[in-house]
Structure 1
């Protein structure tokens, strides 16, 4: 494990090999997490009803977006019910039963697959994506209920971390399942070098291999259970300390704080 002030501010290295490999990193891949910002119900649906069903269905999920919705509901005082028959649908969203209703939360592909007519909420989702927000459709018993959106609140330290990595000669990449419009809006704010969007969870490891095939050692930062295969593929997997147990177990370096600046400190320390 890393020790001393540098380790406390940056990351804990699981072993000496992780420390040595981190010193040779030339590409760092980031993902996105966020905070619930928008709740846009369809006609005849209240915001409370929409968020109640969405957050209730998302409770069993370990995905960061689901966590943002559940946390947002709690902050707004929305009471939740238990979810039954929960299913995680990689690259699409989730399905669960809440109060006898079959609830779907996910992207346009999921709604198309389940033949859900979106109506005006489709245009709302596109506007949210243009603002850099991740919009998720919510439906129950075959009817569209509205859209909930999660937005990254970019920390000053995130832009500083990207700038510092560039100074160190390290390339930065955003690898995300979000659509390209949403991802590029965040990239413009952060100044990340490259964006790889619309990537299914099962495809992230292959994207890491493609970067490695360019002859550069790659570090991957992640905090969700879907990140575990990609973390394992990288030369150095970096897990957010507050992330899921699976990601933390798979990673080589654990960030003590949920702060992207720790990546820069860790590489510089190595």
Structure 2
């Protein structure tokens, strides 16, 4: 997958490649100053400052140690498609977090007032709290079934 294909896959219009370290830093700061969220992919010593300052830094696993330390996400393969998979996985994880918050708030907002007002037996309210935890845990385990979307 080349740079333009990767840009299309992650729905980006602009990709900067083959820049010097100083040019990378300037472009990164310019984009961030204009309110853009910046993802940076690198693997070398000269990429480490940009990886550290980007909103999300992706390092390729076989790269220099300083690049791996500076990045937010380390890709285990040298495949650029792993960037798309990492973004996909993070979106799936955020969806699960939101769903789990809904479950927890639903049970607590409904169960605590009903138990406090005496409409629900405290034993039943305690069981509902345990069920809430089971629902959150079970929902989170669905992430084990997540697989990256096939790249075209």
Provide the TM-score with structure 2 as the length reference. 0.53
* Residues 28 and 54 in structure 2, CA contact (< 8 A), matched pair in contact too: yes
Tell me by how many angstroms 1:214 deviates: 1.6
Q: Give the 4+ runs in structure 1 shifted more than 2 A.
A: 158-163
Structure 1 residue corresponding to 2:34, chosen from 205, 208, 214: 214
- 1:251–1:164 CA distance, 2 compared to 1 (3 A): same
* Residues 241 and 257 in structure 1, CA contact (< 8 A), matched pair in contact too: yes
1:175 alignment counterpart: 17
1:260 alignment counterpart: 80
SS in 2 for 1:175: coil
Mapped partners of 2:15, 2:8: distance in 1: 13
SS in 2 for 1:239: strand
Unaligned 5+ segments in structure 1 are 1-154, 178-199
Tell me by how many angstroms 1:174 deviates: 1.9
Larger Rg: 2
1:125 alignment counterpart: none
* Residues 61 and 68 in structure 2, CA contact (< 8 A), matched pair in contact too: yes
1:232 alignment counterpart: 52
After superposition, residues 34-183 of structure 1 pair within 5 angstroms as 155=1, 160-166=5-11, 170-177=12-19
Tell me by how many angstroms 1:159 deviates: 5.3
SS in 2 for 1:209: helix
Structure 2 residue corresponding to 1:247, chosen from 50, 67, 81: 67
Tell me by how many angstroms 1:204 deviates: 1.9
Tell me by how many angstroms 1:256 deviates: 1.1
Does residue 1:205 correspond to 2:25, yes or no?
A: yes
Kindly indicate which of the two structures has a greater share of residues assigned to helix.
2
Q: CA RMSD in A?
A: 1.9
* Residues 43 and 64 in structure 2, CA contact (< 8 A), matched pair in contact too: yes
2:115 alignment counterpart: none
Work out the number of aligned pairs and report it: 90
Mapped partners of 2:25, 2:80: distance in 1: 21
